[in-house]
């Protein structure tokens, strides 16, 4: 009895240890990668524009998870906040504003599907060949799950902010050969800020309500008011 209990406890411990030995990084990468790819393909395959927007949200969210796994947690957070929170809300608003019955689901002709699938297969073959072809890209820095502990990447928000201010503080102490001149990003940062302002003004100008009819409406309203006054006076 006692030994049996010990044996079960031992097997439970073994199970726990084997659970701890699971390659969590690889597993979460598989989950997020499958979600991103499947939802991207679903965006292409569905005809309903509302569902396309929903699948796109899921695909971009899974991509943010991939960014977190790659150690780019600030970019992942920005992806969630700007892309999923801002850009896609904008797209969903566009879908809602134009979702009249004939435009919700627009069928693509069959011959277009044939041509597009040929294009997709060719493009995917080239890209896959290019991405698996280089041996230097295939080995990770540290093998996880093989007993070697992956060193935690240092937080990247501070170096990113300093680089946007024009100073590079990311160290090159890890023996990585980097370009000798690492420039800051102050000028692109300023250009992007002005660009966003101009885009905001331009988008508001383009999407404004039509004012062409307003003077005529005011005019007719004024005329009717005049008639009313004349009628009242008479």
Q: Which of residues 175-204 bind another protein (CB under 8 A)?
A: 175-178, 182, 185, 188, 192, 195-196, 199-200, 202-204
Judged by beta carbon, residue 4 or residue 146, the one nearer another protein is 146
Judged by beta carbon, residue 118 or residue 226, the one nearer another protein is 118
For residues 162 and 180, what is the distance between their CA atoms, to the nearest angstrom? 18
Determine which residue in the list 7, 14, 16, 94 makes contact with another protein, applying CB under 8 A: 94
The DSSP call for residue 165 is: T
Minimum gap (Å) between residue 221 Cβ and another protein: 23
Judged by beta carbon, residue 213 or residue 231, the one nearer another protein is 213
Judged by beta carbon, residue 183 or residue 220, the one nearer another protein is 183
Contact letters for another protein, residues 116-155 (x by CB under 8 A): xx-xx--xx--xx-xxxxx-xxxxxx-xxxx---x--xx-
Rounded to the nearest angstrom, the gap between the alpha carbon of residue 204 and the centroid of all alpha carbons in its chain is 24
Question: How does DSSP assign 4-57, residue by residue?
Answer: HHHHHHHHHHHHHHHHHTS-HHHHHHHHHHHHHHHHHHHHHH--BHHHHHHHHH
Structure-block tokens of residue 230 = 């004349």
Judged by beta carbon, residue 138 or residue 216, the one nearer another protein is 138
**Please, which contacts does 55-61 make with residues 24 or more away whose CB atoms are closer than 8 Å?**
56/88, 56/91, 57/84, 57/88, 59/35, 60/84, 60/88
Q: What three-state secondary structure class fits 48?
A: strand
Residues numbered 2-21 forming contacts with another protein, rule: CB under 8 A:
none
**25 part of the interface to another protein, by CB under 8 A:** yes
Structure-block tokens of residue 81 = 């906040």
Determine which residue in the list 181, 206, 230, 232 makes contact with another protein, applying CB under 8 A: 206
Residues numbered 51-70 forming contacts with another protein, rule: CB under 8 A:
52-53, 56, 59-60, 63, 66-67, 69-70
């Amino acid at each position: 009895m006692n030994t049996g209990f010990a044996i079960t406890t031992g097997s439970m411990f073994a199970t726990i240890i084997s659970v701890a030995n699971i390659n969590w990084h690889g597993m979460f990468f598989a989950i997020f990668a499958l979600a991103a790819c499947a939802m991207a393909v679903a965006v292409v395959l569905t005809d309903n524009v509302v569902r396309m927007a929903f699948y796109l949200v899921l695909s971009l969210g899974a991509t943010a998870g991939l960014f977190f796994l790659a150690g780019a947690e600030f970019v992942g957070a920005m992806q969630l906040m700007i892309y999923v929170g801002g850009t896609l809300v904008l797209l969903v608003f566009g879908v809602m504003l134009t979702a009249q019955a004939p435009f919700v689901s627009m069928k693509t002709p069959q011959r277009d599907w044939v041509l597009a699938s040929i294009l997709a297969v060719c493009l995917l073959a080239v890209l896959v060949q290019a991405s698996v072809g280089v041996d230097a890209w295939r080995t990770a820095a540290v093998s996880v799950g093989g007993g070697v502990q992956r060193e935690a990447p240092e937080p990247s928000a501070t170096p990113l902010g300093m680089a946007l201010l024009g100073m590079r503080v990311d160290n090159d102490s890890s023996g990585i050969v980097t370009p000798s001149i690492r420039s800051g990003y102050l000028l692109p940062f300023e250009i992007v800020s002005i660009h966003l302002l101009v885009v905001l003004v331009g988008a508001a100008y383009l999407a404004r309500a039509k004012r062409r009819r307003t003077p005529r409406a005011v005019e007719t309203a004024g005329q009717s008011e005049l008639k009313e006054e004349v009628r009242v006076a008479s």
